[in-house]
Amino acid sequence: MDAEYDFSQGKRGAIDPVGVGKTRITIRLDEEILAWFRDQVQAAGGGNYQSLINEALRQYIQQQREPLETTLRKVLREELERLGK
């Protein structure tokens, strides 16, 4: 280890820059929720649990915007297709 380090070119802030369209926040999640998302990423062979949480939130928002009739029709189509009808 050096006795002295030169931080004259150092920059304050996060090491990884936040991507375009993204906002860095602090959020408190239940341990079991976070563990579930991490397990899903591990089972898929890798990835980013934060992206998985983001996608789950996006799907929830879409579901809230979608009228009930549309949701029911989609579910019925999927079930009929699954049954081969």
Q: What is the pLDDT of residues 7-25, one digit of tens each?
A: 888 888 767 777 788 888 8
Statement: the pTM of the whole predicted model exceeds 0.75: no
In this predicted model, what pLDDT tens digit does every residue of 27-80 receive, in sequence order? 999 999 999 999 999 999 999 999 999 999 999 998 888 888 888 999 999 999
Position 55 scores a pLDDT of: 95
**Angle 23-25-31 from CA coordinates, rounded to 5°:** 130
Complete DSSP assignment for 14-63: -SSPPPTT---------HHHHHHHHHHHHHTTS--HHHHHHHHHHHHHHH
